[in-house]
Amino acid sequence: MVDKKITTRIDSLREEINSHNYSYYVLDNPDVPDSEYDRLLNELSNIEQQYPELITPDSPTQRVGATPLDSFSEVQHEVLMLSLGNAFSEQDMSDFDRRVREAVEKENIEYAAEPKLDGLAISLLYEKGLLVRAATRGDGRTGEDVTLNIRTIDAIPLKLRGKDYPKLIEVRGEVVMPKSGFDKLNRQQLEKGEKPFVNPRNAAAGSLRQLDPGVTATRPLSFYSYGIGLIEGMTLPNKHSEMMEKLKSWGMRINPESQVVKGQKGCNAYYEKLAEKRNDLPDEIDGIVYKVDDIKFQNILGFVSRAPRWAIARKFPAQEEMTTLLDIDIQVGRTGALTPVARLEPVFVGGVTVSNATLHNQDEIDRLDVRAGDTVIVRRAGDVIPQIVSVVKSKRKGKPRRFYLPNTCPVCGSETARFEDEAVTFCTGGLYCEAQRKEAIKHFASRRAMNVDGLGDKLVEQLVDEGLIHTIADLYNLDLEQLIKLERSGEKSAKNLLASLEKSKKTTLSRFVFSLGIHSIGETTAQTLANHFLSLENIMNADEEKLLAVPDVGPIVAENLMTFFKQTHNIEVVEQLISVGIHWPKIVKKSQDELPLAGKIFVVTGTLESMGRNEAKAALQNLGAKVSGSVSKKTDYVVVGENPGSKATKAEGLGISILDEKEFIKMLSQ
């Protein structure tokens, strides 16, 4: 005989776990942290392992555990699982409402409205409150028995709550995969090198079709009930909405957006509200279902062919459509990134006509295996830019060639590059590439680069658009007459600009290297390079070995520098800049102790807004300082960024000078 204490503890654990599940799924109001829930489940599982004779099929530990099936058996639906009629417009809705009003001879009908989830219809049979069978809809008459898989879904109770449930009830509803779970599952699929799912509906369907419930258990599935089929041992309430409240009290999850609305006006307002919310909802929905709320009226209306006349699904405009991919073009962005763009046979999707969709990068093209001429599925959800979801391989004609981003930039012909572990392919043309020209010039003239006063972004755009400058070197060939002719440019400001261009010719080697806008060469790296190599020629001619010998220069910086200085047009621009008179003082290698911060010990703590920790470290080392990881009496300065740790407090206690970011930058520039 098992001790009474054990059975009491088992009962109380099961009740407590079920109650937490109810709060979490049905009330949408978790009442304990996950860790506490896991602890209770663990305790129950441990006791059940010691007393296997006390395990019952409705125990919360018994969701997974069945051995894989060979196939699914068939289930006959005693009450047919019907489909719904569709409405695609306000006119269709108005026709539906008129038919209802005429049939029941009443105005201002009350409708139970709820989102139409994009999932799989499921029937759940509860006998004496216990889940005994779960089946797919199938053709409405015959479905498949998916009980073992359905049992793994935490949102579906294995046992109904309370006492007033009928002796037999078939709950119907939709199994869905929430958008967040879908995204996570697809990331995992990609990490495992497996094919991602096309959409949450397919992922949910695929997960329920697993013969091994152990696999289904790993999938983030959820469930909402929307009605009933068979029922015995209870008189139905008068309203559909009251029945839904009953289901909720028995532990069935119902959609929190459900609402009773009045008349066609109420239906339209509900539709507009949900259409606006659609993209922010946790689950994919493809429309709204309206049901006449009064069961007496439902009985009057009855059925037509295989759909109830008392319900309708008002569909949102489709977010996915099929079309032909005519070609793949390449756009070069202002940062030099090459983006493949799908040119499409125009298609109406998500409420607009779409003729382009981004393909992001080479990885995405490889993942989709998309080729010119393919039939593709395009998705446009809300204001998000249209995406290609998948290729309909069965419709591919012949053997179109795979698409690869080119080795040279389609705009300027410079080499393109892509680094290991990075998705973006970019043009190395920088200053020379027309697509990047405006940005390159703005960067060149900026305060921390060549500091050309009076050359604002608008003026740069104007100069390029008017064809007055093609490269940064052309800036130094501008004359007064050209500038005055420009719209909104007075003589005084033109003169000022020419003077500031002249002034900018006197610079430093590090500013000059930074101003060239080479990928990944920030101010500090430019400074490090100048200090290390002492001359522009040395930097331009450095090979990989020499570059990698510089502190703070890694393989990416080295490759970017070499690629940049390998291109003839970049060398030409540099030569032109030197020939118009840009110059800098010769750098004389100073011994370590002649540097301005020689002998000083710094600690950097917290997050700096303008540079990373490594960059700050390199900048200090360039000036001869030592950078330490911990504060001691020997520390001279502590640089404090956002959210500093205990180091700042310790420094204060020791009376060490503290620099905020502004003071630190000032010190570096001095």
Binding site for ligand I6G (CB under 6 A): 82, 84, 114, 116, 121, 226-227, 289, 308, 311
Sheet with 285-292, strands from edge to edge, namely 85-87, 311-315, 285-292, 110-117, 259-262
Between 159 and 314, whose beta carbon lies closer to ligand I6G? 314
Between 289 and 539, whose beta carbon lies closer to ligand I6G? 289
Query: Are 170 and 123 in contact, with CB atoms under 8 Å apart?
Result: yes
Minimum Å gap between C-beta 310 and ligand I6G is 8
Query: Are 291 and 313 in contact, with CB atoms under 8 Å apart?
Result: no
Strands (E), 94-252: 110-117, 120-127, 130-136, 142-144, 168-176, 222-232
Between 83 and 375, whose beta carbon lies closer to ligand I6G? 83
Minimum Å gap between C-beta 279 and ligand I6G is 20
CA distance 361 to 6: 60
- The residue behind tokens 């929905």 is 285
DSSP for 600-658 reads -EEEEESB-SSS-HHHHHHHHHHTT-EEESS--TT--EEEE-BS--HHHHHHHHHT-EE
Minimum Å gap between C-beta 57 and ligand I6G is 29
Minimum Å gap between C-beta 117 and ligand I6G is 7
CA distance 62 to 427: 57
Closest CA to 620 of 669, 559, 660: 669
Give the β-pairing of 120-127 and 375-379.
Answer: unpaired
Between 82 and 391, whose beta carbon lies closer to ligand I6G? 82
- Taking the CA of residue 97 as centre, how many other CA atoms within 13 Å lie in the half-sphere pointing to its CB? 21
Minimum Å gap between C-beta 270 and ligand I6G is 13
Q: Identify whether 192 is a catalytic site residue.
A: no
Between 186 and 222, whose beta carbon lies closer to ligand I6G? 222
3-state DSSP helix/strand/coil % of the chain, to nearest 5: 40, 20, 35
Between 48 and 97, whose beta carbon lies closer to ligand I6G? 97
Q: Which residues contact 144 (CB under 8 A, 6 or more apart)?
A: 72, 73, 74, 75, 135, 136, 138
CA distance 575 to 473: 9
- Helical segments of 403-515, H only: 434-445, 457-465, 480-485, 491-504, 509-515
Minimum Å gap between C-beta 82 and ligand I6G is 4
Minimum Å gap between C-beta 274 and ligand I6G is 13
CA distance 568 to 301: 80
Query: Are 254 and 84 in contact, with CB atoms under 8 Å apart?
Result: no
Among 4, 5, 106, 116, which one carries the catalytic annotation? 116
Cα distances (angstroms) measured from residue 324 to each of 171, 330, 364, 377: 42, 18, 18, 9
Query: How is residue 157 written in tokens?
Result: 């109770």
Minimum Å gap between C-beta 297 and ligand I6G is 14
Between 66 and 84, whose beta carbon lies closer to ligand I6G? 84
Read off φ and ψ for residue 508, nearest 5 degrees: -125, 160
Between 285 and 547, whose beta carbon lies closer to ligand I6G? 285
Between 292 and 608, whose beta carbon lies closer to ligand I6G? 292
Minimum Å gap between C-beta 172 and ligand I6G is 7
How deeply is 34 buried, as exposed, middle or buried, from its count of CB atoms within 10 A (0-12, 13-18, 19+)? exposed
Q: How many other CB atoms are found less than 10 A from the CB of residue 563?
A: 18
Query: Are 476 and 577 in contact, with CB atoms under 8 Å apart?
Result: yes
Closest CA to 431 of 574, 272, 587, 277: 574
Minimum Å gap between C-beta 72 and ligand I6G is 21
Residue nearest to ligand I6G (CB): 226
Cα distances (angstroms) measured from residue 343 to each of 221, 326, 381: 36, 6, 18
Query: Are 642 and 606 in contact, with CB atoms under 8 Å apart?
Result: yes
Between 142 and 462, whose beta carbon lies closer to ligand I6G? 142
CA distance 66 to 56: 14
Minimum Å gap between C-beta 315 and ligand I6G is 12
Cα distances (angstroms) measured from residue 26 to each of 58, 116, 149, 256: 18, 18, 20, 9
How deeply is 318 buried, as exposed, middle or buried, from its count of CB atoms within 10 A (0-12, 13-18, 19+)? middle
Between 220 and 308, whose beta carbon lies closer to ligand I6G? 308
Minimum Å gap between C-beta 79 and ligand I6G is 10
Query: Are 249 and 162 in contact, with CB atoms under 8 Å apart?
Result: yes
DSSP for 75-111 reads EE-SS-----EEE-SHHHHHHHHHHHHHHHT-SS-EE
Between 121 and 452, whose beta carbon lies closer to ligand I6G? 121
**Which residues are designated catalytic?**
116
